[in-house]
Chain A
Amino acid sequence: MFLGDLVAAPVLQDGRRVGYVADVRLLVPPHTPGQRVGTPRVYGIVVCPRRTASFVGYERTGVREPRLLAAFFRWRARGSFLVLWPDLARVGENGVDLRLDARRWSADLDSRPQL
């Protein structure tokens, strides 16, 4: 499976479309011997109600500068939320289905990613 297939795929819950996959959040664990960076695994998906190219990133990181542009991009991606992997019912070619009781979390990357 390719991560690219998930990006911008429609997200459905109870047969109704609730948005699109704005991004796929990965968890990079501490690396094991024989590698320098841990093998990332899918932590969850960031769902945005609109099909915007919202990866400019303002809506999820602490960056708020330059002020007006950041406000615009945050407004454009308003209503985005994070759904954790266990809450996903199906990941297929034509989209992602959420479980009926899927919990919606804040999409903010609270800690600055130490990239």
Chain B
Amino acid sequence: MTVLLLVLPLLGCLAVLGLPPKRAAAFGVAVTSATLATALLMAATFDYHRSGFAQFSVNAPWIPLIDLRIHLGVDGISLPLVVLTALLCALCAGYLARPSGQPERPRALVALLLLTEVGMLGTFVALNLLLFFVFFEVVLVPMYAVIAGWGGQRRAAAARQFILYTLLGSGVLLVGLLLLYSRTSTMDMVVLVGRAGTGLSHGVQVLGFLLIAGGLAVKVPVWPLHSWLPDAHTQAPTVGSVLLAGVLLKMGTYGMVRIAVPMLPEGAVALAPALGALGVAGIVYAALACLAQRDLKRLIAFSSVGHMGFVLLGIATLTPVGINAALLGNIAHGLITGLLFFLVGGIAQRYGSTDIDRIGGGLLAKAPRLGSLLVFAAVASLGLPGLAGFWGEMLAMLSAFRPAGGLNPALYLVFLAVAGLGTVLTAAYFLVMLRRVAQGVVPPRWTAERFGDVTAREWVAWTPLLVLVLAIGLWPRIVLGVTDGAVRVLLRGG
């Protein structure tokens, strides 16, 4: 089943190049929907009582010399992310196939999209360290091409900074993985999680965690290593930024939860406070940066740094509650920021620009439904209870209140306080944004413009996200029920 999940988009990617351009988008929708169906089928037939153990697993040798095996499997931690990725890719394909907005060179764009999907799904289902690394890097080139090919004005520089910065991160990650391999001589994640770092000296564990978490930190992004994110998201086309924010950031945190924390426990305990500190600093830094942003898309990109700060805080506590909070935070952020970028894409298409002063406000008057969707997404993003964003942040703060043994509780209380302040600042910049964009009077330059409210095709692309944000908000068991068992198994060492 997992093999089918990867083969479908791969074949689709190759096949679409042969199609005539006008049918490329439709074909893209077909392939991504098939992949989504497979993912949902997997979710349906998944044995939730044994969510801690890899299911639908495949284990075939590929390059025995470096112990690279095609070892795939899905468990409680990766299942929600797989479904999220498949869903977002299907929505993006749907967005591309909309009659009004056909992109140029559709075949190439759909092919790159499908190749990115293979990379993303591969990363989440890989159970072999090297295979994880290969899929981790498969995503780079297509995403670079999407940004450089279909992006905004300054796309070349943004795309180059994105791929070079992320490659540096994955280079450091590779050094960390191979350091781990040189000491344990196995690349099998299940075995390594089972060993939970026994037989590894303290020094190796700390250095390994530093390299692996450091490499992944560029992808998350952790606060000081985030400078590629705003440019990449702002210059990327809507489809690109949805996938970038929705899934690519999660590969970093997923890597930390799956590899760094369970396999190098002593390293985790040694470096978790630093990770927590950077995460929390990221929350406040991003919130302040968003408060003074002039461009709407750049504001939402920065908000991702803030939300990932909460996810990092959850991971840094090394407790089941924290890790659950991180995983739920991932899913919630994927849905909400995906929706936000779709909405901003819609606004950019109607106003021709995402500059807040240019839009000038009055969106609720000009396009009431689009405006109220923006309000809904903003409120969800600032963590209103009853919507998905709340549980991730609240549980992360709750876990910071009682961190795992060996971590300094006073330090984590400071993190908790700063994170609390972060939530207020997050609320501040979203509401200020709403006041400038959604509320207020329509400026004279737009009164004459006639652009329609949300179209039927846009409703089709966005309703699943709306429903899921509400559903997870009211019934978080959808995600936590799946991840809780797996997290307990992970932290207890398999």
- A associates with B: no
B residues whose Cβ falls under 8 Å from a Cβ of A: none
Which A residues contact B (CB, under 8 angstroms)?
none
